[in-house]
Amino acid sequence: MNVTKLDGTGRHILVIDDDLAIRVLLQAVLRRMNFDVELAEDGAAGLEKLQANGKFDLVLLDLMMPRLNGYEFIERIGAAPIERPHIIVFTAAGKRGVDKIPPDAICASILKPFDLEKFIELIDDCLGKEMPHK
């Protein structure tokens, strides 16, 4: 897939990762495709943005973070009175880390380090699916 073919106009993505380099890289790539991108340095900050800003089409979520990790973030938004966005998780913890998440809680997962083209394909696939229901 050519990443320039994905048009994110009108779509909002929240990137949650404690690694500044990953946040900045994903923000640059996604903005080049016309996505509106917000960044959060951990799950607690991501949860605040989700509750304050309302609807995101997609959350890109690291699992291993300080303060509030990705597992806790997923658990909290499952209980929150908000419309659940699609979630793609990424982790260096391996497949076992992803297997701890209920399959209906996330749209997709990818292991770090990830191939950017493959990651963009996952974003395209998830945005093409119906939104999950509460």
Cβ neighbours of 74 (radius 10 Å):
21
Mean of the pLDDT values across residues 12-40?
95
61-109, pLDDT tens digit by residue? 999 888 899 999 999 887 666 667 888 888 776 667 788 888 788 898 8
- The answer to whether residue 110 sits within a structural domain is yes
For residue 131, tell me if it sits in a domain: no
Q: Decide if 106 is inside a domain.
A: yes
Q: How many domains does the chain have?
A: 1
How far apart are alpha carbons 103 and 90 in whole angstroms?
14
- Please give the residue that has the higher pLDDT: either 32 or 5: 32
Statement: residue 60 has pLDDT above 70 = yes
In the chain, where do the E strands start and end? 12-16, 36-40, 58-62, 86-91, 108-111
Is residue 22 included in any domain, yes or no? yes
- Identify the domain containing residue 25 by its residue range: 3-126
Write the CB contacts of 41 (distance below 8 Å, at least 6 apart in sequence).
Answer: 16, 17, 18, 20, 23, 65
Structural domain includes residue 132: no
Instruction: Using pLDDT thresholds of 50, 70 and 90, give the confidence band for residue 35.
Output: very high
Domain of 17: which CATH number?
3.40.50.2300
In a domain, 134, yes or no: no
In a domain? residue 60: yes
- The pTM score is 0.88
Q: Report in angstroms the alpha-carbon separations of 114 from 12, 70, 94, 106, 120.
A: 22, 17, 12, 17, 10
| Domain presence at residue 120 | yes
SS3 109: strand
